[in-house]
Structure 1
């Protein structure tokens, strides 16, 4: 199914950090209501923060109040044919994972979410909601995260931003070693009162090195064959190491295909998967034209050599082989932030998609052709790998 990234206005509402907020997000997108208002109202219904998910019974009760009608899914596959046209809030389940359900909004068979659940073929439709009201009686839908707001929403958002700013200031006072014990106690008491009143948690106000504000996503690129070629894996590793270092990848087998999954910051993932598909096609076509194939024998050796010959990033060094102190310091900061983003992305993947990454080691390949590999390496070295939002080279002026 077609996919459009949409966080329901979460980032625009000032919320940061990781959250299992698919229910809040789907309802905000479908109803056109601000994320902040849906978040608050779901918290009142469930009597707890909806940041870490909402029970199906509470979401059903909330949607019923809004005149949305529920239809059982009867275990149908999550496809366009299983849903009606218009605006639909879908409840998805995995039969093999009882505790991992997911809510998403589908508008005219286009998925509006932060990742594409239709790429997970194990999902089935547990049920879905459609709006009983006519278009003239509602403000549906919020098509994109940057949709315009009316004057009342803007005013309320400004007030909410002031609350978040106040909470962060109080948090700074409570953690400041120069503050007295009385000032710390007063700051913590005021923070607790504000968070209880507005149904917020500490994760909503944390903003460490801007990592908590990163918008994550996950996309899949299917390739033929249940067993991926070693050069295809090396190509994915090359892209995340050399071109899009903020992203990560893994692979899984589904039927007679292998899925290469890329996850991380939204724009990097979108640009990375586009470049991955382009390079896959280029290398496979070149190997097929010269050796009749790319999966085994000389064709696979050529493809492996091609990937290993692609341009690599090298940090600038002085004549003695040591990096200048200013460049070394900047490189260290970049690496630190990269590691922080990777860690946050893995946590997001586990929380949002229910996926835990496991490292595996494969075996070597027979029928290696060194001549074909060297030829591929020469051709790969001539390939100009350029991508939008790729790695920013650190150099001396």
Structure 2
């Protein structure tokens, strides 16, 4: 019975198609720029500004960090179009006044899903597997419904510190 309940559950999140100003900035096609889009949506800053900031932050991390991860990155990966590493995202969002709240821990399993009744109210930048999205008071702001009908696991979320 539990299997069927999970299979047919819905996220109960409304979807508002929102590219964060990506098209208005002149970008076309598909890209792995969910970090840029999400930050642009929640901050109301121009997509291009966030893109440029993250490009510089990615480059700085790759060239100045002494970590194994930073040494393994290639110069072409500085573009936020191909993703932004969580270390860079963390530093950038903290600078903008956002605080991280983890919802999943090693060995614990998934406790919070991309569902309205499992997330706090307010404006959140939500981290899921290989994707970042925005939920504003029960409304999903993204270019597609990434909730997997309410089954997508949430690793944690960012919320603005008042």
TM-score (norm 1): 0.31
| Deviation by residue 1:354-392 (Cα, 9 ceiling, x = unmatched) | xxxxxxxxxxxxxxxxxxxxxxxxxxxxxxxxxxxxxxx
Is 1:38 aligned to residue 50 of structure 2?
yes
Q: CA deviation at 1:119?
A: 3.1
Structure 1 counterpart of 2:23, from 11, 32, 35? 11
Pairwise CA RMSD: 1.2
Structure 1 gaps of 5+ residues are 94-100, 134-397
* Counterpart in the other structure of 1:68: 98
Partners of 1:107 and 1:67 in 2: CA distance: 17
Q: Which is bigger in relative contact order (C-alpha 8 A, separation at least 6)? A: 2
Question: Tell me, what secondary structure is at the counterpart of 1:118?
Answer: coil
Partners of 1:57 and 1:118 in 2: CA distance: 24
Partners of 1:82 and 1:39 in 2: CA distance: 30
Is 1:88 aligned to residue 124 of structure 2?
yes
* Counterpart in the other structure of 2:138: 109
Structure number with the higher helix fraction is 1
Is 1:130 aligned to residue 154 of structure 2?
no
Structure 2 counterpart of 1:22, from 34, 58, 64? 34
Bigger Rg over Cα: 1
Partners of 2:84 and 2:148 in 1: CA distance: 23
Q: CA deviation at 1:120?
A: 4.5
Q: CA deviation at 1:121?
A: 4.4
Partners of 2:100 and 2:87 in 1: CA distance: 12
Alignment of 1:178-257 (within 5 A): none
* Counterpart in the other structure of 1:57: 87
Question: Tell me, what secondary structure is at the counterpart of 1:123?
Answer: coil
Contact 2:115 2:150 in 1 (8 A): no
| Deviation by residue 1:226-257 (Cα, 9 ceiling, x = unmatched) | xxxxxxxxxxxxxxxxxxxxxxxxxxxxxxxx
Question: Tell me, what secondary structure is at the counterpart of 2:120?
Answer: coil
Partners of 2:81 and 2:114 in 1: CA distance: 25
Partners of 2:57 and 2:149 in 1: CA distance: 30
Partners of 2:41 and 2:86 in 1: CA distance: 18
Question: Tell me, what secondary structure is at the counterpart of 2:21?
Answer: coil
TM-score (norm 2): 0.74
Count of residue correspondences? 126
Structure 2 counterpart of 1:77, from 94, 110, 113? 113
- Structure 1 runs of 4+ with >2 Å offset: 119-122
